[in-house]
Structure 1
Amino acid sequence: MPEPNDRHEVWLGIDLGTQSVRVLAVDAAGAVRGSGAEQLRSHRDGPRHEQNPDQWWSAVRTACRRALDGVPAASVRGVAVCATSGTILLADRTGRPLTPGLMYDDSRAAEEASLAADAGAALWERLGHRPQPSWALPTLMWLLAHCPRLPDGARLVHQADHIAERLTGHPVATDSSHALKTGYDTERETWPDALLEDLRVPVTLLPDVVRPGTVLGAVCAEAAEATGLPEGTLVSAGMTDGCAAQISAGALEPGAWNSVLGTTLVLKGVTAQRLRDPLGVVYSHRAPDGNWLPGGASSTGAGVLSQAFPGRNLAALDVRAERYEPSSLVTYPLASRGERFPFLAPEAEGFTLGDRHGAAEADYHASLLQGVAFVERLCFDYFGLLGAPLDGPVTLTGGGARSRYWCQLRADVLARPVALPENAEAALGMAVLARAGTTHPLSAAARDMVRLRTVVEPRPEHTRRLLESHLKLVDALEEHGWLPTAVARHARRRTHQ
């Protein structure tokens, strides 16, 4: 618990999302003392996705003032910023944007991604991931090709860096979390200068890199006037939005895991050593304490429900689905073609074993809920095969965690208790990190500030019945040629244990 003299202090977390900026003012016990939000607008055109960096700052100013309304200025101790992973721009030496912000899913750099992947093959093999067209390194290469005449002092700025610079009034180092997709070597903690030279990326463009939570500076007078943050408030280096959400779930000790079920399913954990993944479907951020944060994103998730039952009351369907454990159907619930995790299969498509059209509506709905839970268990199987510890606590977040029944079902399929945090917003994670950057170790700050709403215990009899269907899905995925045999065998061993 926080010390008594900490209880009236607050830390701000700023979350730069795709559609809005969200700011929370949080005290040392995790209570939200103020909140604010402001919308963002994007320009999309095919593979192009851009935002105006000036809009980010305008939205941050508005959201900060709303969050601080009623919060005593003397109580504010620190602030940290998270942003979408891979969003970058080019700026001049003063921080003035020279380009729009190219967003995390702008995919115009397909050719550059292939060049970067080939040129850095040895590095990517060692780090266990490969650049994708939307990653910041290929995007930077694309920008340089289309902005050949840059002024002296031009530099790369990540989305979170841009806001940190506006807060402090001077250029800042970036954090290793946002730098990962720009090609930063998170293992050796350095830029790969030789590779960048081969790719014609001037190393002079690149910022210094620090670990998340490092103090970057203090809020300057101009930013204080604009945001309502007191001048002198410490500004700490943040992390990407996905890592911020992991902090807000309290998954920070080796063996702990956070499963985020939204439109898609994302599983993130903590390991003492970096995992080496031969498939390249897992990549690891570096935690402030030096541990690793491996993660993988599946193409299955809650999005399949809205596709299958558009406009329907899913909570009512959940109630009816409880009668089908297991469902008479076994469904691999992909929302679109291609799987990314726990196996890589661009040609994969969803399927259902059994008479889909002869089954009751609630039976099919149950098979979708169970299918997502089976894939989630298979994700844990894959991490276990890579040598990750799986014995720590598991937290469930994302929109899917709002379904009481689905949480119970997932606990049954995983055969382990699952915890539901009271507040899993990325902005909360940044408030925790801001406190860690100024006063406490991150794990200690999270123990104080992350509150659990409830813990769901598995039901052994339900687990036994459901895992029979899980094994049928494992068999089918292997027969399709998508799930590697080694992964399938490991999944069967874990199930029989």
Structure 2
Amino acid sequence: TWKASGDLARSVCTVTCKWTYLAHENRWDASYFEKVGLGDLSRDDFFRIGSRVVPAGTALGHGLTAEAAESMGLPEGTPVSAGLIDAHAGGLGTVGTAGDPTRDLGYVFGTSSCTMTTTAEPAFVPGVWGPYHSAMVPGMWLNEGGQSAAGAAVDQLIDHHPFAPEAHRQAKAAGQSLPAWLADRVGGRDVTQLVAGLHVVPEVLGNRAPHADPHRRATVMGLGMDRGPESLLALYLATLCGLGYGLRQIIAAQEAAGAGVDRIAVSGGAGRHPLVRQILADTTGKPVVAPETDEPVLLGAAMLGALASGLRTDAGDAMRTMSRAGVINHPDAEAVRRHEGRYAIFEALQDVAARAKA
């Protein structure tokens, strides 16, 4: 893809988050590979995985080869940057809108969810991955949590409802996804009233953070005999509330370990609807900011390209000048109060489910 100069390079993001590279010490840790019988991977200074590790945004080689440039419609030699994992690129594209990346938690809300928290000093949070040095914002630390199923949990649970096939038909006729169609049906009604008596712990694939238990499963309490659209809507909203309460738990666990945040910077298809963002704000008590761009992952990648080409001096410069906040959903004080009781029930149901799995 690019004209190589010397040995090929690996991004510090991938080898730190997914392998055993200690970026804060600029070295690999071979102990894990030796312990599991893969010591050959660590031979010759980890040549098989990558001996040369560089920060994201580092220019690689001499840019695009002629063949790659022609296929992309770009000039030969266009700078190529060491990249980031997709969610991490999205985090880079969202957490800088406040001017200080440590203020915002990046919440990538898609099929699953990923939380990206930036700190100046390392924070060790039980049940949350990291801290990783320079894995997202160069020179800073990253804690990574999330939910094993988010948008997928919504789909899984609402598709069990008797009205779901008809709702899918009506949503398709309107040119919408079923979640968006349901969200539009709320209008100006009070979400906590619509979900009264119905509680969902949407852990269909376990709890990624902060309990780190892959064996947990979803719990639904309060289902009645209603088989119509309002009952389906309530199940959808209660599932969103459950995701919000799970996000609140992650934020609380990180804050207790010294990695607190002021806002949630949301990205991903599931977070585009204003109702979804408002529910996240009300269930967590944090403002939810949507980036101005619809594609923060691509924006984060563009920031890396700007670093590689020299158009931006560092990641802070790129975030300040290339990312902008769009709509901000502020928590409604009365809604936050009403969610407190539901949050207590959510945690109680989690405890029951954890015991019931045995």
Cα distance, 1:332 vs. partner? 0.4
Say which is worse superposed, 174-183 or 199-208, in terms of deviation.
199-208
2:236 partner amino acid: H
Among 298, 306, 328, the residue aligned to 2:155: 306
Q: Decide whether the 8 Å contact of 1:218 with 1:231 is kept in 2.
A: no
Question: Which amino acid is 1:168 matched to?
Answer: K
Q: Which amino acid aligns with 1:298?
A: Q
CA 345–357 in structure 1, closer or farther in 2 if over 3 Å, else same? farther
**Correspondence list, 1:444-455, <5 A:** 444-455=317-328
Q: 2:117 aligns with which of 253, 258, 269?
A: 269
Q: Which is further off, 281-290 or 421-430?
A: 281-290
CA–CA separation in structure 2 for the residues paired with 1:194 and 1:401: 40
Q: C-alpha separation between the residues in 1 aligned to 2:110 and 2:126?
A: 27
**1:260 paired to 2:76:** no
CA distance in 1 between partners of 2:340 and 2:30 (Å): 49
Q: Is the 8 A contact 1:435 1:445 kept in 2?
A: yes
1:159-208 Cα deviation digits (max 9, x unpaired): xxxxxxx2124442111102122321233221124655662222332331
Shift of 1:432: 0.8
Does residue 204 in structure 1 map to residue 47 in structure 2?
A: yes
Find out whether 1:413 has 2:256 as its counterpart: no
Q: 2:182 aligns with which of 314, 317, 321?
A: 317
What residue number does 2:13 align with?
A: 177
2:19 alignment partner AA: T
Post-superposition shift, 1:464?
Answer: 0.8
Taking a change above 3 Å as real, the CA distance of residues 384 and 269 of structure 1, as seen in their structure-2 partners, is same
Percent identity, aligned pairs only?
Answer: 25
Distance change in 2, residues 1:306/1:273 (3 Å): same
Q: 1:221 to 1:396 in 2, by over 3 A?
A: closer
Q: CA deviation at 1:441?
A: 1.8
The Cα offsets for residues 92-145 of structure 1, whole Å up to 9 and x where unpaired, read as xxxxxxxxxxxxxxxxxxxxxxxxxxxxxxxxxxxxxxxxxxxxxxxxxxxxxx
> What aligned pairs does 1:142-291 form with structure 2 within 5 A after superposition?
166-170=1-5, 171-180=7-16, 181-193=18-30, 196=33, 199-201=39-41, 202=43, 203-205=46-48, 206-219=50-63, 222=66, 223-251=68-96, 253-279=101-127, 281-287=128-134, 288-291=137-140
Kept in 2, the 8 Å contact 1:219–1:230? The answer is no
CA–CA distance in structure 2, aligned partners of residues 186 and 467 of structure 1? 40
Unaligned runs of 5+ in 1: 1-165, 483-497
Tell whether 2:219 aligns with 1:351.
yes
Judge conservation of contact 2:199–2:238 (CA < 8 Å) in 1. Answer: yes
Q: Which amino acid aligns with 2:192?
A: E
**Cα distance, 1:221 vs. partner?**
5.1
Could you list the per-position Cα deviations for residues 312-346 of structure 1 after superposition, in whole angstroms to 9, with x for gaps in the alignment?
A: 53333224444441522111013x34222221222
| C-alpha distance in structure 2 between counterparts of 1:395 and 1:350, whole Å | 26
Matched position secondary structure for 1:218: coil
- Determine helix, strand or coil for the equivalent of 1:167: coil
Instruction: Flag the 1:331–1:462 CA change in 2: closer, same or farther, 3 A.
Output: same
TM-score, normalization by structure 1:
0.58
Does the alignment pair 1:477 with 2:321? no
Q: Which has the larger share of strand?
A: 1
Instruction: Report if aligned partners of 2:60, 2:80 keep a CA contact under 8 Å in 1.
Output: yes
For residues 200 and 356 of structure 1, what CA distance do their matches in structure 2 show?
58
**Higher relative contact order by CA 8 Å / sep ≥ 6: 1 or 2?**
2
Contact 2:64 2:80 in 1 (8 A): no
Q: Structure 1 residues 314 and 427, CA, compared in 2 at 3 Å: closer, same or farther? A: closer
Q: CA RMSD in A?
A: 2.4
1:389 alignment partner in structure 2: 260
One-letter amino acid of the counterpart of residue 75, structure 2: P
- Structure 1 residue identity aligned to 2:83: G
CA distance in 1, matches of 2:242, 2:31: 45
Which of 298, 307, 310 is matched with 1:427 structurally? 298
- Deviation of 1:356 (Å): 4.4
CA distance in 2, matches of 1:442, 1:464: 38
How far apart, CA to CA, are the structure 2 residues paired with 1:375 and 1:471? 12
* 1:356/1:348 CA distance change after superposition, 3 Å: farther
- Deviations 1:34-56 (Å, cap 9, x if unpaired)? xxxxxxxxxxxxxxxxxxxxxxx
Counterpart amino acid of residue 273 in structure 1: E
In 1, the alpha carbon distance for the partners of 2:65 and 2:212 equals 50
- Matching residue of 2:206: 338
Q: Distance in 1 between matches of 2:58 and 2:118?
A: 20
- For residues 330 and 256 of structure 2, the distance between their equivalents in structure 1, rounded to whole angstroms, comes to 25
Amino acid at match of 1:276: F
Q: Contact (CA 8 Å) 1:217, 1:236: kept in 2 or not?
A: no
Indicate how the Cα distance of structure 1 residues 353 and 397 shifts in structure 2: closer, same or farther if over 3 A, else same: same
Partner SS for 1:412: helix
In the TM superposition, what whole-angstrom CA distance separates every residue of 1:332-384 from its partner, at most 9, and x where no partner exists?
Answer: 013x3422222122221111222344583322222112111111111211211
Alignment of 1:364 onto 2:235: yes
Q: What is the number of residues matched between the two proteins?
A: 314
Larger displacement relative to structure 2 (198-207 or 439-448): 198-207
1:220 Cα offset (Å): 5.2
Give the letter aligned to residue 332 of structure 1: V
Amino acid at match of 1:301: A
| CA–CA separation in structure 2 for the residues paired with 1:357 and 1:218 | 66
Asked if structure 2 preserves the Cα contact closer than 8 Å seen for 1:235 and 1:434, the reply is yes
Letter in 2 for 1:402: R
Say if 2:219 and 2:349, in contact at 8 Å, map to a contact too: no
Q: How far apart, in 1, do the equivalents of 2:65 and 2:185 lie?
A: 58
